[in-house]
Chains A and B, each alone.
Chain A
Amino acid sequence: MKKYILLAFAILFVGIYLFPLYWMYVTGLKAGSEIFRFPPTFWPQTLHFNVVDIWVRLRMDRFLTNSLIIALGATAIIVAVGTGCAYALARVRSIWMDVALFATLMMQVLPSSLMITPIFVSFNMVGLLEYPRLAVVLAQAAKLLPLYIVLCRTAFMQVPRELEEAALVDGNSRMGAFFQIAVPLARNGILVTSVLVFLQSFGEYVYSRSLIGERALQPATVGLQSFMGPNTSDWSGVMTYSAIYVTPILIVFVLLQRRIVSGLTAGALK
């Protein structure tokens, strides 16, 4: 009996916590006049679908394509550059590796909003701002690369060293052992971490806002911010936009929930 009381409370807590998400979807489904009712209605009286209207009117396809380009680009760089580093940091113990790990950890904490000033000035001087989305990809990859290395390192530490040593004895090279033994065995960790990095970059805002001036190249976050504006009254539209934007993210989250939780906790405390 006690278990079910606890379960009821747990559902209540989850419900209270996730209320903002519910409110986003419900507001998106309300008609314009129903939004401005006080007291508010907790379930829409008339359902009002403006998904297509918002999608077409705000050119969300363009915004989401740009978000996708930025997220894919940053993730590709991070996976290509970071996986090997995570592996080496997991395998080799020496004073230099400790220094490298410490440096990585320090770079992990640099806030984007503080790094953007020097990045903007230096990118401007070398002409990178001519390619604003590439500039955002490069900066965002640098922002999340340390996190990826730290999380993937724990995935590699769980791969038994003996398997690789056996491969070496069988005449495999170190490089061969890395690609054929270590990476396949750590693939779950690598995959979940890549998804995390991808989702973070999909919601990137500071760099895009500061480096991309041209509207056609901006991602969905910047589009949402300019749609909201200082005095918006189209809250139904804003919430519809938000819902279109985050629903794919939430679906990926629900599918990978268990793995994300365990990957995250393994990395953060070690």
Chain B
Amino acid sequence: MAHFWSSIRDSRGFDALLVWLALGYLTVFSAFPLVYNFVISLQTVDLFSLASFDRPFVGLENYREVLSDPVAGTVLWNTIRFVVLSVVFQLLIGFGLALFFQQDFPGSSYLRGLFLAGWIMPALVVGAVWSWILAGDFGVLNYVLRSFGLIDENIFWLSDHQVSLYSVIIANIWLGVPFNMILLSVGLASIPQDLYEAAELDGAGAWQRFYTITLPLMRAPLGAVVSLGIIFTLQQFDLFAALTQGGPSNASNVAQYWSWQLSFQTYQISRGSVVSVLMIVFVIGVAAIYTRSTRYEQNY
């Protein structure tokens, strides 16, 4: 017994205990649900069989049903558009702002930090504010667009099935820009300044310096930001809840919201878990690629 205690206080046992404490917690509350999710997706789970351990096993039947559901195609296409457009615009705006704030002027780092105010807010509140900005009749965005002459009639951002997905994308870009900008700023700051000075002496213009120095050296941070952007965008749920609830008639529904709707609004829990299993496999795939690539970079 004494040996046991001294091993915990003084040697490897101490590190192992600390790690296992956290991993144990994660095993119970993350890894177990992850595995259990897969089990549920092979069973029939609804309100009647919810409480019993002995649920009918149906194999891949749920998967077949979900994939042949006509909504599935819409949701998949919406998810792709949501992720690609969000990530692309977050990256472009974030990179542009990072380059701008990299220049030397008073207060640059303080003003840059202010952008994170958007990131720190609860996403549901952000959704509430945006749904008022985007409101069809009295929304300020329609007013601004009209006074610049960009549109002639009010756009009903949240209820028009052709634009409702884009309204969520706009809010999501707003939410993601600060994070992109801050991470890319760190990357930019680590590029040695004398590279630019040398290039300037050799007569390289601003664009040439950007293409031959900035972009190649920013490859790793850009890759990180794209992977993290995909991961965060697939986590986005609150904006959908606050803005469109996936509607009208699934026009702005995406996989992570659909999965929740199936489980908690129509109580087709096994179908909800099918969507969840498929999406989690994808998210973990992206995360694994990202983690491996950053480890690789570190070895330099």
Residue numbers of A with Cβ under 8 A of B are 3-4, 6-7, 9-11, 13-14, 17-18, 20-21, 23-24, 27, 35-40, 77, 81-82, 84-85, 87-89, 91-92, 97, 100, 102-122, 124-125, 138-139, 141-143, 145-146, 149, 173-176, 178, 199, 202-206, 209-210, 221, 224-225, 228, 230, 235, 238-239, 242, 245-246, 249-250, 253-254, 257-258, 260-261, 264-265, 268-270
Contact = CB atoms under 8 A, between A and B. Distances in A.
A81 B129 contact: no
Interface string B207-242: 000000000000001001000100100110110011
12 contacts: A6-B108, A20-B130, A38-B137, A39-B143, A84-B21, A111-B237, A117-B269, A119-B29, A124-B51, A175-B9, A246-B125, A269-B221
Given A14-B115, A114-B256, A205-B123, A89 B33 contact: no
A117 B263 contact: yes
Contacts of A270: 294, 298
A27 to B, nearest CB: 6
B131 interface: yes
Interface string B131-142: 111010110100
A146 B26 contact: yes
Interface string B25-62: 11011111110110010000100001101000000000
A268 B275 CA distance: 29
Contacts of B287: 105-106, 108-109
A8 to B, nearest CB: 9
B22 A106 contact: no
Contact of B11 (A18, A174, A221, A261): A174
Ranked nearest first, the 8 interchain pairs of A and B with the lowest CB-CB distance are A203-B122, A84-B18, A85-B22, A142-B29, A118-B37, A118-B33, A113-B237, A6-B105
B contacts with A: majority SS: helix
Contacts of A142: 25-26, 28-30
A255 to B, nearest CB: 12
Interface in B114-162: 114-118, 120-126, 128-133, 135, 137-138, 140, 143, 147
B128 A242 contact: yes
Contacts, number: 295
Contacts of B279: 111, 114
B10 interface: yes
B143 A118 contact: no
A20 B243 CA distance: 15
A162 to B, nearest CB: 18
Given A107-B31, A245-B122, A269 B138 contact: no
Contacts of B228: 268
Contacts of A235: 132, 135, 138
Contacts of B129: 20-21, 23-24, 239, 242
Nearest to A238: B128
Nearest to B277: A114
B273 interface: yes
Contacts of B15: 88, 91-92, 97
B183 interface: yes
B257 A118 contact: no
Contact of B29 (A11, A105, A138): A138
A128 B294 CA distance: 39
B107 A7 contact: yes
Nearest to B273: A117
B97 A269 contact: no
Contacts of A117: 37, 40, 259-260, 263, 269, 272-273, 276
B6 to A, nearest CB: 8
Contacts of B114: 14, 18, 257
Nearest to B264: A210
